[in-house]
Structure 1
Amino acid sequence: MTKIKIGNIAKIFNGYAFKSNEYSDDGFQVIRITNVQNGYISNDNRKYIKLNNKLLEKFILNDGDILISLTGNVGRVGRIKKENLPAVLNQRVGKVIIKSKDVFPDYLFHFLKSGIVESKLIRKAKGIAQKNIGSVDIEDIEIPLPPLEDQKRIVKILDKADALRQKRKQAIGLLDDYLKSVFLKMFGDPVKNEKGWGFQKLNDLCDVGSSKRVFVDELTENGIPFYRGTEIGMLSCGEVIKPKLFITNKHYQELKKHTGVPAVGDLLMPSICPDGRIWSVDTELPFYFKDGRVLWIHVKVKSLNNIYLKYTLKEKFKNNYKSIASGTTFAELKIFALKGLSIMLPPVELQNKFAEIVEKSEKIAQSMLAQSAELETQFQVLMQKTFNC
């Protein structure tokens, strides 16, 4: 199959540096890096701006536009839908502009989010505290390009497979909504505390931290999975993931000896977590995670149930994220801010009762997850065959 560089069929158009002090209550939604998720554009934590300058109209986005993150979690790809509009393109987010009739837009979108591009861009990225890529890094990547009719046929197959995956995720999401309602009925709002429970600082109840830094040149093609905020967020939603980054077993053992590693029941979360995507570690299989971008909580007292804590934090983040997170470009959770959180502390017997309800619900979810795992495996095999991963 013919392979050509992405730059021969498309170009990457960079966004504009809209100023945060010019944000308004309505207008055009500013699509920032945090909005670009795996395969979609999130409307969480919206920021708006009035577009009074005609020179900025070229940054207005349209339904179907393909976007890619150029900073932080580089290589994440999403697509604008009507519910995201009206919207404009912010700095460090690239818009893919197709310039050839030889490529079907949906085919290019599937290729960009297949994982091939993201893995290559992570290795090309520059920077220590925050990774960056440029338009050329994307445009230099090769894409298999079959005839147009074959591209459309491939897209139909991939769309059908993806739709099955999404339906399963929605069902799992409904279970989470049910557990949220149970939590609020039993404990009330953890911010308002209508039931008058006592409070303690999270730092007094848990060890709160992150990992030891792993540098880009220490990542390998295989070995022990290395998770970023992206993968942790996906695991928190019950998604089956295909690890993209790894470290050697020798390196893992050194890190384990130096800092320890998460145990079953520990809580991990992306540092950018307005929607409360918290993963309660449910595997004894070895893995490591990115420092700073993933935060780690280990319960150290018997008066706190880890599952109760997970749902407490989820509610706090969803309802009060702005007052907890910090940063202008990215509202991130910091270790010191987490340590200072006041945690509502009802009797542990009541917490345990809630955890039992969660456990029963998760048994139902497990059967769904098993089906999701099978669908995910089939989907990944299909992607590999299609794009020669």
Structure 2
Amino acid sequence: MSKVLLGDVAVEHKETCKGSKDGYPIVGLEHLIPEEITLTAWDEGSENTFTKIFRKGNVLFGRRRAYLKKAAVAPFDGICSGDITVIEAKPDRILPELLPFIIQNDALFDFAVGKSAGSLSPRVKWEHLKNYEFELPDMDKQRELATLLWAMDETKKSYQKLIAATDELVKSQFIERFGDFKSNPKGLEITTIDQLFSVGSSKRVFQKDWKSSGVPFYRAREIVKLSEQGLVDNELFITEEMYQEYAARYGVPQPGDIMVTGVGTLGICYLVQPKDRFYYKDGNTLCFHSLGRIDSRFVVECYKMPFIREQIEANAGGSTVGTYTIETACKTRIFNPPIEEQQEFVAFVQQSDKSKFELEQTLSELNATYKRIIEENLG
């Protein structure tokens, strides 16, 4: 095993399309998925200004905002964005099947971030990237590692498919139990959020009142993390005195309330738990306070369904990067079936979530092992 530079074993593939682009799949940065080594999305026949050609087996490295960790193997010849560096292995120096794992790893991305230039949209050049240094074993060991790592990647994808299938099962179970929202074949009650909740936001907290300790102060991004993980490594706080004052004068989130993101990724819900004690940013997040006419857990699940997502997108001008306001939230239409049916569905979702959690834990452990093998053998 010896230390080598990336430029010793790979080159930047420089090839330009000077003729027709017909028949070439098109790959932009948006098609590269963070920390995914295989390319699963691209465009065909779309209008574009790209001219950079890549060949099957090349590694497509997202050189803009390298901290996003975007790098994937090309499964075909195509054309890509200028913000993608096309990297080609030197077969006499490195096994081409191993190169993607050297590029798609945390150490190289950290190196790339350190060498990136530009404040708003930092980019790294191949001239800097090629100086990344790592351990390279002999060819026999390279073959062994490539076989193992590709097998692990395939296993990871199997778990990802199972997790996705669990989500789809919940959606299909919703349709089976309650029917399509637009046609409402079961004649269920359909009402608006303002008939079920008191919808509001918070009293303004100015930036000068943000503290480094005290009572957690959440923005939309923290609500998203809470919805995904049930916890958040928070960085903003308000004083205990301010929290107590606002609790007495304006109220604070209570167990059973639903926090709903109003900016960023819209309509993400977090059900406030008995252990929770926090305040939140006005305009960023809405608070649905239950009027006791629906199971809040059921509402959280409804907000994951297409019929709610479509309403949010329509009110945000056709995208989920606008705003979700108190006014539009109040008008959001939702099923309100008999409470027993709501609770049965929630129980099914909780069981599915348990299975999904176990799959995610296994996937997390597999990812940790995968990264450790790369670090120990190609560090």
TM-score of Structure 1 vs Structure 2, range by shorter chain: 0.5 to 0.7
Counterpart selection for 1:49 from 41, 46, 62: 46
Q: Name 2:58's counterpart in structure 1.
A: 65
The reply on whether 1:33 has 2:21 as its aligned counterpart is: no
**Aligned counterparts of 2:263 and 2:133: Cα–Cα separation in 1:** 31
**Matching residue's letter, 2:10:** A
Counterpart selection for 1:77 from 71, 79, 88: 71
Cα separation, partners in 2 of 1:50 and 1:154, compared to 1, 3 Å: same
Counterpart selection for 1:155 from 133, 137, 146: 146
The reply on whether 1:170 has 2:164 as its aligned counterpart is: no
**Aligned counterparts of 2:262 and 2:4: Cα–Cα separation in 1:** 38
**Matching residue's letter, 1:98:** A
SS at match of 1:336: coil
The count of corresponding residues between Structure 1 and Structure 2 is 318
Q: Name 1:300's counterpart in structure 2.
A: 288
Q: Name 1:334's counterpart in structure 2.
A: 321
The structural deviation recorded for 1:300 is 3.0
**Aligned counterparts of 1:281 and 1:112: Cα–Cα separation in 2:** 40
**Aligned counterparts of 2:173 and 2:86: Cα–Cα separation in 1:** 42
Residue 64 of structure 1 contacts residue 80 of structure 1 at CA under 8 Å; is this kept in 2? yes
Residue 3 of structure 1 contacts residue 142 of structure 1 at CA under 8 Å; is this kept in 2? yes
**Aligned-pair RMSD on alpha carbons?**
5.0
Cα separation, partners in 2 of 1:178 and 1:75, compared to 1, 3 Å: closer
Larger radius of gyration: 2
Q: Name 2:109's counterpart in structure 1.
A: 118
Percent identity, aligned pairs only, is 13
Residue 308 of structure 2 contacts residue 332 of structure 2 at CA under 8 Å; is this kept in 1? no
**Aligned counterparts of 2:162 and 2:298: Cα–Cα separation in 1:** 21
Equivalent residues in 2 for 1:1-389, closer than 5 Å: 1-13=1-13, 28-37=24-33, 38-39=35-36, 40-43=38-41, 46=43, 48-49=45-46, 59-72=52-65, 74-81=68-75, 87-99=78-90, 101-188=92-179, 192=182, 194=184, 197-200=190-193, 205=199, 253=235, 255-257=236-238, 299-302=287-290, 305=296, 308-309=299-300, 312-313=303-304, 315=306, 333-336=320-323, 340=328, 343-347=332-336, 349=339, 351-388=342-379
SS at match of 2:303: helix
Residue 263 of structure 2 contacts residue 324 of structure 2 at CA under 8 Å; is this kept in 1? no
**Aligned counterparts of 2:6 and 2:107: Cα–Cα separation in 1:** 13
Residues 319-342 of structure 1: per-residue CA shift (max 9 Å, x gap): 79986888xxxx974252687576
**Aligned counterparts of 1:134 and 1:325: Cα–Cα separation in 2:** 37
**Aligned counterparts of 1:323 and 1:364: Cα–Cα separation in 2:** 33
Cα separation, partners in 2 of 1:316 and 1:142, compared to 1, 3 Å: farther
**Aligned counterparts of 2:272 and 2:102: Cα–Cα separation in 1:** 31
**Matching residue's letter, 2:40:** S
Residue 280 of structure 1 contacts residue 310 of structure 1 at CA under 8 Å; is this kept in 2? no
The structural deviation recorded for 1:102 is 0.3
Residue 98 of structure 1 contacts residue 105 of structure 1 at CA under 8 Å; is this kept in 2? yes
Tell me which moved more, 32-41 or 317-326.
317-326
Instruction: Specify every segment of 5 or more residues in structure 2 that has no aligned partner in the other structure, as ranges.
Output: 208-220, 244-252, 274-282
The structural deviation recorded for 1:356 is 2.3
The structural deviation recorded for 1:386 is 1.7
**Aligned counterparts of 1:43 and 1:92: Cα–Cα separation in 2:** 17
Cα separation, partners in 2 of 1:140 and 1:27, compared to 1, 3 Å: same
The structural deviation recorded for 1:181 is 0.5
Q: Name 1:226's counterpart in structure 2.
A: none
**Aligned counterparts of 2:132 and 2:272: Cα–Cα separation in 1:** 36
**Aligned counterparts of 1:15 and 1:199: Cα–Cα separation in 2:** 56
Cα separation, partners in 2 of 1:314 and 1:117, compared to 1, 3 Å: farther
SS at match of 2:64: coil
Residues 119-165 of structure 1: per-residue CA shift (max 9 Å, x gap): 33234434444443333342222232222222111111222233333
Instruction: Specify every segment of 5 or more residues in structure 1 that has no aligned partner in the other structure, as ranges.
Output: 18-22, 214-228, 239-248, 284-294
Residue 263 of structure 2 contacts residue 321 of structure 2 at CA under 8 Å; is this kept in 1? no
**Matching residue's letter, 1:3:** K
Cα separation, partners in 2 of 1:351 and 1:153, compared to 1, 3 Å: same
**Aligned counterparts of 2:309 and 2:16: Cα–Cα separation in 1:** 28
Residues 220-262 of structure 1: per-residue CA shift (max 9 Å, x gap): xxxxxxxxx9xx89x96x9xxxxxxxxxx9xx54x2449x9x9
The structural deviation recorded for 1:94 is 1.9
**Aligned counterparts of 2:64 and 2:198: Cα–Cα separation in 1:** 35
**Matching residue's letter, 1:132:** R
Residue 15 of structure 2 contacts residue 53 of structure 2 at CA under 8 Å; is this kept in 1? no
Residues 47-96 of structure 1: per-residue CA shift (max 9 Å, x gap): 63369x9xx7x6344433311112245441122236xxx74212312211
The structural deviation recorded for 1:116 is 1.6
**Matching residue's letter, 2:323:** F
**Matching residue's letter, 1:95:** V
**Matching residue's letter, 1:91:** G
